[in-house]
Amino acid sequence: MKKKTTKTPRLHATSVKLHNVKGRHQIVLLSPLTVIVGENWAGKTAVLDALTVGFVGYHPKLGKRIADTLRLHQPSADNTMEVQIQFSDPNLLNRIVWIDSEGKGTCKDSRMVSLDPIQFSVEDFFELTHEERVRRLLGATGQKLSATEIADCADKVVMLPTLIAGPIKAEWRARVASVMADSKVEEPLDNLTDWLKGQAKLAKAESSIRRSEMQAIANVPRGTFQGDPEADLEAVTAEMAQLATKAAELNAKKQDGQIAENELEKISQAPEPVDFAPLESAQRATEEKQAKIKAELDAARTTYSKLTNNLGDLRARRGTNILALKELKAATCCPTCGNKRMDWRDDMVREYMDRIASQDKAIQQSERDMQDVSMRGMELRKKYDEANIEREGAERQMQTAKARNASAQAVTDADKDRLKKQIAEARDVEPKLKETQDQLNALQAKVQALRKAVVDQACQRHQEKQMTTLEQQLVQSDVRLNVMAETLKALTALKEARAGEAMKPVLDTVRKFTQGILPGEFGYEDGQFGMQHGQDFVVWRTLSGSEQLVALTGLSVALATGTKFKLCLLDEMGRMTLGTRTAVVERLEQLVADGTVDQVICVDTTEEAYLESGFNVQEVK
C-alpha cells in the first residue's frame, strides 16, 4: 500500500487501548491521519466511542452519569471497562477506568488532555439555538471584550433620558460593571439582557397593577355632599349632648317616683304595734328553766368528779395490797417478828386477799355510779341545749316586735304626703321623657348619616390623592419601559455584532474546507446553517445526504481549530460518494499539513479513497 508522508504536528494521539468497550479488547495504533476501516458491526464505532469517553470523560450522546457511560460496558466476568490513550508526547497519558459493582458504578479518571464535548457531537451543534450556539463558540475560543467594547456597551445600556431619576441610572451602571467583569463575551451580555428583561417584566407588572388600581378607583361611585358634613356632625353631636342631659334628669325623676311608690306600698302594708308583756313573760320562763337545768348539770359534774377521785384512791390502795401480797408470798420469814415458821404467812395472805376482793367490789360499784352520773349529765346537757334554743327564739321574737313597733312609730303623715307628691311629679315627667327620647332617636339617625357622609368624603379625597400618585407612578413606569426597550435594542444589536464576529472564523474555516466540494458557498442566516444556491439560501436540513456530511465534516474541522488539541473525528465517511470522499480526504490532508488541525481520525467501510493519500489505514475485524 502506497503511503504519503506529511509534516508531523506538534501533538497527536499514537494509540488507543480498549478494554471491554462494547465487548472489544484491542489496541488501535493512530497517526496524525488515520482511517479505521471494517465491515458493518466490526467495531469501528466502538473505537470512536472509546476516543470520545477518553477525551471527554463521558459520552455526550449517552449522558454525564457514570451509569450512562457504563452502558458501553459488556457484562462479563470482568466488571471493569478501561480506555487508555497515549500521545506523541510520552509525558501525556489519558487513562480512565470504570468499575461496575452491583449496579453502582465508580470511575477513576486520570486524563491529561481534555476536549470539549461538542467536538464529538457536531450534529448536536446544529440543534442548538442561535444564542446557545454563539455562547458555545465564544466560550470555546475564550474571547474577551476589550475595555473599549465594555465602555461602549455600558454607555449604550445607561443611555437614559433625563426623566429617569439618578438612583436608577446608578443601579444600572453598577449592574453593567458587575456583569462585564466576567471573562466570557456572550455570557455577561446575556446576563445583562436577562436582567433588563426581568426589570421590564416587573415594570409591565407594575404598570398593569397601577392601571387596575386606577380603574378600581374610577369605578367607585362618587357621592354628592351639601354643605360641610363635618361641621354639621359637630353641631348635631352638641345638640344630642344637651338632649341626653335633659333625658337623664327626667329619667332620674321617674326613678324617684318609682322608689316613692315602693316605700308608700311598704308603709301601707306595715303591721300593727305588738304587746311586749307576753313575750317578756315567755322569755323569763325560758331563762329560769335554763338556769335550773344548768344548776343540776353543775351538780352532776361535781358528783362525777368526786367519784373519779374516789375510784383513783381505790385503785391505788388495791395496787398497794397486790404488791404487798406478792412480797409476802416471796418472803421466808415473818416481816414483823422474824419467825421462820410458815404458818403465819397463810393467815396474812388470806387477810390481803380479802382486802383486795373488798376493794374490787368497791371499784365496780364506783364505776357503776360514775356511769349513772354520766348518763344523767348527758340527759341534762340535752335539756340545757333545748332550753337554750327556746330562749334564743324568745329573744328573736322580742327583737322583731321591737323593730316593728319602731317602724310603725317612724312613719308620719308628712312622710306619706311627701311620697305622694314625688309619685305625682314622676307621672307628669313621662310624656316629656318620651318626647325627649324621640328627639334623641331622630338625631341619632341623622348622626349616622352624617358620619357616613364624612367617611365617604374622606375616602373620596384619599382616592383623588391616590389617583394622582398612581398617574405619576404610571408615567414613570411607562418611561422605564421605553428606556428598557431602547436599551434592549442596543444590547441586541451589540449581541448580533458579537455573534457575527464569533461565527466569522467558523464560517471562514468551513468555507475553506467545503470550497470546490459543495456546489455553493456555506453560510449562516437567521440563526441557521445552510448553503447559498443561486439567489436562494438552502438550510442545512434540506441539503442532500452527501452535502450534509461534507458540511458536518467542515464544521468538525472548524470546531476543532478553536481548541488546544485540534482533533477531528469523522464517522460514516462511507455515506459520501467516492469522488466527494476523495476530495474531502485531500482537503483533510492539506489541513493537517499546514497545521490547521493536529489530528484527523476517520471511520469508513473501505480503504479505496485513502490508498493514494497519507492516511494510516487501521483495519478492525
pLDDT of 350-363, one tens digit each?
888 888 888 888 88
In this prediction, residues 278-297 reach a mean pLDDT of 83
Domain ranges for the chain, please list them: 13-125+567-619, 137-221+477-500, 277-410
Q: pLDDT tens digits, residue range 34-72?
A: 999 998 888 888 999 999 999 988 988 888 888 888 888
Identify the weakest region by mean pLDDT among 282-286, 379-383, 560-564, 593-597: 560-564
**pLDDT score at 85:** 93
Q: What sections of 220-342 are H helices per DSSP? A: 229-268, 277-330
pLDDT at residue 86 is higher than 90: yes
**pLDDT score at 49:** 92
**pLDDT score at 600:** 92
Architecture in CATH of 277-410: Orthogonal Bundle (1.10)
Q: What sections of 119-228 are H helices per DSSP? A: 122-127, 130-141, 147-157, 166-179, 186-219
The whole-angstrom separation of Cα 266 and Cα 313 is 71
pLDDT at residue 217 is higher than 50: yes
Residue pair 179/153 in contact (Cβ under 8 Å)? The answer is no
pLDDT tier for residue 411 given thresholds of 50, 70 and 90: low
Q: Provide the CATH topology of domain 137-221+477-500.
A: Receptor-associated Protein (1.20.81)
Q: Exposed, middle or buried by CB within 10 Å (0-12, 13-18, 19+), for 60?
A: middle
Q: pLDDT tens digits, residue range 1-38?
A: 344 444 445 789 999 999 989 888 899 999 999 999 99
Angle at CA of residue 473, ends 471 and 474, nearest 5°: 65
In this prediction, residues 171-193 reach a mean pLDDT of 59
Please count the other Cβ atoms lying within 10 Å of the Cβ belonging to residue 196: 19
Q: Exposed, middle or buried by CB within 10 Å (0-12, 13-18, 19+), for 3?
A: middle
What 3-state DSSP class applies to 428? helix
pTM of the model: 0.50
Sheet holding 528-533, edge to edge: 521-525, 528-533, 536-539
Give the helix/strand (H/E) hosting 21. strand 13-21
What is the dihedral sign for C-alpha 283, 288, 291, 293?
negative
pLDDT at residue 161 is higher than 60: no
**pLDDT score at 552:** 82
Q: Which of 34-38, 253-257, 272-276, 292-296 has the highest mean pLDDT?
A: 34-38
Q: pLDDT tens digits, residue range 565-606?
A: 888 888 888 888 888 888 999 989 988 988 888 999 999 988
pLDDT at residue 184 is higher than 60: no
In this prediction, residues 449-460 reach a mean pLDDT of 78
pLDDT tier for residue 269 given thresholds of 50, 70 and 90: low
Give the residue, 50 or 557, on which the prediction is more confident: 50
Q: pLDDT tens digits, residue range 466-486?
A: 778 878 777 777 777 776 677
Q: What is the dihedral of CA 504, 509, 511, 514, to 10 degrees?
A: -160
Q: What is the largest CA-CA distance in the chain?
A: 177
Average pLDDT, rounded, for the chain:
78
The CATH class of the 13-125+567-619 domain is alpha beta
The whole-angstrom separation of Cα 590 and Cα 514 is 13
Q: Which three cell numbers stand for residue 117?
A: 464535548
Residue pair 117/60 in contact (Cβ under 8 Å)? The answer is yes
**pLDDT score at 186:** 47
How, if at all, do strands 33-37 and 616-619 pair?
Answer: parallel
pLDDT tier for residue 146 given thresholds of 50, 70 and 90: low
Name residue 210's amino acid.
R
* Residues facing 108 on adjacent strands: 97
**pLDDT score at 617:** 93
CA separation, residue 156 to residues 48, 189, 384, 487 (Å): 48, 12, 120, 7
**pLDDT score at 183:** 44
Residue pair 139/118 in contact (Cβ under 8 Å)? The answer is no
In this prediction, residues 239-253 reach a mean pLDDT of 84
In this prediction, residues 147-173 reach a mean pLDDT of 55
Contacts of range 540-548, beta carbons closer than 8 Å, 24 or more positions apart: 540/126, 545/575, 546/575, 546/576, 546/577, 546/580, 547/518, 547/519
Q: Which three cell numbers stand for residue 334?
A: 415473818
**CA neighbours within 13 Å on the CB side: how many for 26?**
17
Identify the weakest region by mean pLDDT among 130-144, 202-216, 469-483, 561-575: 130-144
What 3-state DSSP class applies to 137? helix
**pLDDT score at 32:** 93
Tally of residues, the chain: 621
CA separation, residue 514 to residues 444, 492, 558, 614 (Å): 97, 31, 11, 20
